[in-house]
Amino acid sequence: MAHVIIVIHLMLVLALIGVVLLQRSEGGGLGIGGGGGGGNFMSSRSTANVLTRATAVLAGLFFVTSLVLSILAGYSRKPTTILGGSGPSAPISAPGSAPPLSGGEGGLLRQLQGAPEPAAPAAPSGPQVPQSR
């Protein structure tokens, strides 16, 4: 299904590029082409309306296929965590609860809460003076 929509999406992209390139330049932003020459075969006002409407329709279809492709990509995605667990695709726990980080009972947070606090290092009594030999 996704492959068919990708092919349709790519055909819409190519058609949209072609229709935009067929339109007459109005501003002359680069200073080239699109002048007031009478030799252009796409210079009538009705053709510009058709091209403008075709651009709008193709752009709308482009957005629709983009949304459908993003929705299809979301269906095949499985939630995973990068914080460890029992394999590469461990499911994410419910919102509001701590995920199991170590694979053991309760996870890393529970292990840290139950662990005794490390003893503080003894404070030095004063500056150490080097002794000469």
Ordered by start, the domain boundaries in the chain are: 1-24+46-91
Higher per-residue pLDDT: 128 or 37 = 128
**Whole-number Å distance between alpha carbons of 49 and 55:** 10
The pLDDT tens digits for 56-92 are 999 999 999 999 999 998 887 777 777 876 555 545 5
DSSP 51: H
Quick count: other Cβ atoms within 10 Å of Cβ 114?
8
What confidence score (pLDDT) does residue 23 get?
A: 85
Question: What are the tokens at 125?
Answer: 């009594």
pLDDT digits (tens, 9 = 90+) for 28-53: 555 555 555 555 555 556 667 888 99
Rounded Cα gap, residues 23 and 113, in angstroms: 68
What's the pTM value of the predicted model, to 2 decimals?
0.47
